[in-house]
Amino acid sequence: MTIRHWLLIGLLGGLVGCAANTPLEPRELVYSTSSAETFREAVELMLEQGYVVRHADLSLGRAEASLARWPEYRLQLQVSEEGSGSRVRVSALRGNQPLPPQLLDPWLVALQHKLGVAP
């Protein structure tokens, strides 16, 4: 192999290292509404806020959405049953960097209001 090949391999290896996924820290909140209702309202909230929902599966309780403006924000949603209510786990990326979980509190509060269960 020539030096050019080694440089190319080194450069590609460095780029792969930069693209490695940083673990996301989800933020969670339990709501008194059913998981199906919570999921539907959460996806609707994403749409109202300008997100493009790329994947949404009610049976899995999972959705992923992206904000179509720079820098790209991506939300990942998981809704599951919790007793007679539902547990929402949401995490977000800005570009390729995870957002600190406390920055998701306003989104969870907006969902709480949308569901009509705000204190």
* Distance between CA atoms of residues 91 and 99, nearest Å: 7
Please report how the helices 105-115 and 35-48 are oriented relative to each other, as an axis angle in degrees rounded to 10: 120
The reported pLDDT for the residue numbered 43 is: 97
The reported pLDDT for the residue numbered 3 is: 56
Domains and CATH numbers, the chain: 24-115 (3.30.530.50)
**Residue-wise pLDDT tens digits, 3-24:** 554 444 554 454 444 444 567 8
In one-letter notation, the amino acid at residue 28 is E
The reported pLDDT for the residue numbered 10 is: 55
How sure is the predictor about 71, in pLDDT bands with cuts at 50, 70 and 90? confident
The reported pLDDT for the residue numbered 32 is: 96
**Residue-wise pLDDT tens digits, 79-108:** 999 999 999 999 999 988 999 999 999 999
